[in-house]
Amino acid sequence: MRDDTTPRTAPGWLRLLSPLALLLLWQAASAAGLLPPRILASPAQIAFTGWEMTRSGALPRGIAVSASRVAAGFGIALGLGVVLAVAAGLSRLGEMVLDPPLQMLKAMPFLGLLPLFILWFGIGEAPKVGLVALGAVFPIYLTLHSGIRAVDLRLVEAGRTLGLSWLARVRHIVLPGALPSLLVGIRYGLSIAWLSLVVGEQINADSGLGALISTARDFLQTDVIVVCLLVYAAMGLATDGLVRLLEAHALRWRPPLVAG
* Domain positions in the chain: 42-249
CATH topology of domain 42-249: MetI-like fold (1.10.3720)
**CB-facing half-sphere around the CA of 14: CA atoms within 13 A:** 3
Question: Treating both helix axes as pointing N-terminal to C-terminal, what angle do 58-90 and 209-218 enclose, rounded to 10 degrees?
Answer: 130
Residue 62 and residue 208 in contact, taking contact as beta carbons nearer than 8 Å: yes
Identify the CA nearest to 221 among candidates 56, 50, 55, 41: 41
For residue range 156-212, what is the model confidence (pLDDT) as tens digits?
Answer: 888 888 888 878 888 888 888 888 899 999 999 999 999 888 888 877 778 888 889
Q: How confident is the model at residue 1 (pLDDT cuts 50, 70, 90)?
A: very low
Alpha-carbon span 185 to 196, nearest angstrom: 16
Identify the CA nearest to 131 among candidates 54, 187, 77: 77
Alpha-carbon span 52 to 174, nearest angstrom: 51
Residues 6+ apart with CB under 8 A from 186: 78, 140, 243
**Residue 155: count of CB within 10 angstroms of its CB:** 15
* pTM as predicted: 0.81
Top-confidence residue, 81 or 106:
81
Residues 6+ apart with CB under 8 A from 151: 173, 174, 177, 178
For residue range 213-242, what is the model confidence (pLDDT) as tens digits?
Answer: 888 888 888 999 999 999 998 998 899 889
Residue 94: exposed, middle, or buried by beta-carbon count in 10 A (0-12, 13-18, 19+)?
A: middle
Alpha-carbon span 54 to 46, nearest angstrom: 12
Residue 52 and residue 206 in contact, taking contact as beta carbons nearer than 8 Å: no
Top-confidence residue, 75 or 205:
75
